[in-house]
Structure 1
């Protein structure tokens, strides 16, 4: 592994940058992580975990230049078993040539970190484990593009406020890893080893790192972060724990909506048109707004500036497995609570899908009721 460690701040304000390569067994791609807050650990496992999927995709063996953590190596075959079951077109890598290092001692610092983006899952883990968690880890370059400084600054200000009000230390990082793994396997799977690599960079600071679960045990599906996969990235000196899979999405929303800091700062959007904090247009914004409405908290949440409209729910294109499961759960809960029939029917229509005539009629209704949004969508499509 090629890695550098460079202090970028004074001793009173530590910081570092770590560079290493991702390889597909033939080509190498430089990636970097940087933090203004902590010294990052340089470890050979960084290249290994982020190169597994590219090598499996290319069908070329990984050659480790240094011995690797024995706990991680013991999990390597099971990691591959999961990827082989989930991802078409990947091949198993030989493990015999990988040499085990001596296990490292734990830090003993009694610090526990949790990845935090400001969304439902990370808030649920924070509030559930508020007494245990000491630090929040926020990574620029994962769900917020490096070039989107406006959204990053707004989100960072919110997360700094969350850290202050919950009494947690905040660790900021940034990285260019996403486009590299996107080019091989896509972020749906690439974010899992990227989270593991980030945890390794912090292994001199923590003995345990929580990854908030994006799934629940009832609706598990193949994904980069998964209750079966995340713990397999653990090292001799670091436990990586997938947290929150015991709670369905509507239960998570109900639990976190009791806290005003959540209603003031919740961020879920992944499209972020014009650097919007929550665009209120994408399926993720919609399914969160729906869950908040079912929980009786949407009117209290300040981070969704546009109203939830039945015609917009009806027009959603539900393709992703998790969106379908979340929508189904919200619809059933809305039925149980006796919410308005038109709202429930809109979710049912979205789940059934739409014929072309239905889609045309619904688009026309939206254009009439929301002309500004309709015109903005047209301008985006034609590049104005």
Structure 2
């Protein structure tokens, strides 16, 4: 395969008042990121974000990567060594490549800004609670909130992204923090590569774009330390963020995974009694017309059941959730939960058992049937793999 070669980052002014940082990419659309011109002074002059953004697609398709412009020397070194080793532990089908740049330079001094992505979910609220509360050292206290359009809202999710962002503005206003929207076409450079399988690098690239004003960033962990395993289930690279983000850091920009010391149940219960929690948005329903959480997708069900077991669901109905869709699907969800091998699901079942939650014999029977079917499918896949050898 030919090398993947980019031009250096260039800035242009958008008609709507944004500043776009783009780089030409041979054989593909330019890679670009855009922010409101209010935050133009936070943009980095370096091309670190290009190297981070394109490492995974280059590895996926076995193409050496050459980045136009200047890349921080330590970042380039790690992208050629441990970062790739970690990626291949998660995605063994990816290939080892060589990453080069027009120029390298030592990291400068870190900027004063401390940012965290804020989606309104359980994990991002947990990070806010830890790093905006009393007693947080000034060097660790969050100074900026980010909301990125890098794939979580779907391929055509601009309307949904805008609606979600507008719904979260009051949180930033209550905290007195600037709220930065970062748009990008990075998803176009990840063909046939799932969002959850690449999420760490997509969001890390955004932080490097803002490296002129941000010196530290927090990325809400998907799971707790006790649930970290290699390789992560389904190639979900976000589950090993605690190992990945340090490899994407420099002396001028520290990327950290946060709240891994808390379980999903603990993070959910930390929302109880906090007025700001009325802005909670955990839903995976991509319908831009919805006005609240759908209350029947798996994320809504998990959150609502956790709150119900704790006796706190009424606090979140109807401002955050709607009871009827949840109750209609609850028995079916029990079976899904009891048959699941996902660490967060196992944790929720244990939480329910500890509180004497009644799952019902019907749900347990359906869970047993689901496990039997899954074992049969796993066995069939194993036979097909052996036959192909």
Normalised TM-score (structure 2): 0.79
Question: Which of 174, 184, 193 is equivalent to 1:175?
Answer: 184
Using the alignment, how far apart are the partners of 1:2 and 1:184 within structure 2?
A: 26
Using the alignment, how far apart are the partners of 2:54 and 2:340 within structure 1?
A: 26
Q: How big is each residue's C-alpha offset from its partner over 1:316-374, in whole Å with a ceiling of 9 and x where there is no partner?
A: 489986xx2212111111111123343x9748955862678xxxxxxxxxxxxxxxxxx
Shift, 1:15, TM fit: 4.0
Structure 1 residues 333 and 170, CA gap change in structure 2 (3 angstroms): same
Aligned residue for 2:218, secondary structure, equals strand
Using the alignment, how far apart are the partners of 1:176 and 1:202 within structure 2?
A: 16
Unmatched 5+ stretches in structure 1: 357-384
Using the alignment, how far apart are the partners of 1:134 and 1:293 within structure 2?
A: 34
1:165 aligns with 2:185: no
Determine the structure 2 residue equivalent to 1:268. 282
Shift, 1:197, TM fit: 0.9
Report if the CA contact (8 A) 1:22-1:47 is conserved: no
Written as runs of structure 1 = structure 2, the 5 A alignment for 1:212-227 is 212-220=220-228, 221=232, 222-225=235-238, 226-227=241-242
Report if the CA contact (8 A) 2:227-2:343 is conserved: yes
Using the alignment, how far apart are the partners of 1:133 and 1:246 within structure 2?
A: 19
Structure 1 residues 217 and 107, CA gap change in structure 2 (3 angstroms): closer
Shift, 1:120, TM fit: 0.6
Using the alignment, how far apart are the partners of 2:337 and 2:305 within structure 1?
A: 15
Report if the CA contact (8 A) 1:111-1:207 is conserved: yes
Structure 1 residues 215 and 100, CA gap change in structure 2 (3 angstroms): farther
Structure 1 residues 243 and 54, CA gap change in structure 2 (3 angstroms): same
Q: How big is each residue's C-alpha offset from its partner over 1:274-333, in whole Å with a ceiling of 9 and x where there is no partner?
A: 643422232222222222223332221122224333323146489986xx2212111111
Looking at both structures, which has the greater relative contact order when contacts are Cα pairs under 8 Å and sequence separation is at least 6? 2
Shift, 1:59, TM fit: 1.4
Aligned residues: CA RMSD: 2.9
Determine the structure 1 residue equivalent to 2:33. 33
Using the alignment, how far apart are the partners of 2:362 and 2:266 within structure 1?
A: 22
Q: How big is each residue's C-alpha offset from its partner over 1:50-95, in whole Å with a ceiling of 9 and x where there is no partner?
A: 2211111111211233442122123221111111111132111135
Structure 1 residues 127 and 203, CA gap change in structure 2 (3 angstroms): same
Aligned residue for 2:179, secondary structure, equals strand
- Of Structure 1 and Structure 2, the greater strand share is in 2
Determine the structure 2 residue equivalent to 1:305. 322
Shift, 1:219, TM fit: 1.0
Using the alignment, how far apart are the partners of 1:283 and 1:351 within structure 2?
A: 19
Aligned residue for 1:105, secondary structure, equals coil
Using the alignment, how far apart are the partners of 1:196 and 1:22 within structure 2?
A: 19
Determine the structure 1 residue equivalent to 2:56. 53
Written as runs of structure 1 = structure 2, the 5 A alignment for 1:362-373 is none
Normalised TM-score (structure 1): 0.80
Shift, 1:252, TM fit: 0.6
Shift, 1:149, TM fit: 5.0
* Residue correspondences, number: 343
Unmatched 5+ stretches in structure 2: 1-6, 134-140, 374-389
Using the alignment, how far apart are the partners of 2:69 and 2:32 within structure 1?
A: 19
Report if the CA contact (8 A) 1:269-1:284 is conserved: yes
Determine the structure 2 residue equivalent to 1:331. 349
Report if the CA contact (8 A) 1:5-1:42 is conserved: no
Structure 1 residues 21 and 219, CA gap change in structure 2 (3 angstroms): farther
Aligned residue for 1:157, secondary structure, equals helix
Using the alignment, how far apart are the partners of 1:354 and 1:254 within structure 2?
A: 29
Shift, 1:103, TM fit: 1.7
Aligned residue for 1:89, secondary structure, equals coil
Report if the CA contact (8 A) 2:120-2:281 is conserved: yes
Shift, 1:153, TM fit: 3.7
Written as runs of structure 1 = structure 2, the 5 A alignment for 1:1-384 is 1-8=7-14, 15-21=18-24, 27-36=27-36, 37-39=38-40, 40-76=43-79, 77-94=81-98, 101-108=104-111, 110-131=112-133, 132-145=141-154, 147-181=156-190, 183-220=191-228, 221=232, 222-225=235-238, 226-262=241-277, 264-273=278-287, 275-276=289-290, 277-301=292-316, 302-307=319-324, 308-309=326-327, 310-314=330-334, 316=336, 324-342=342-360, 346=363, 349-350=366-367, 353=370
Structure 1 residues 80 and 32, CA gap change in structure 2 (3 angstroms): same
Structure 1 residues 292 and 21, CA gap change in structure 2 (3 angstroms): farther
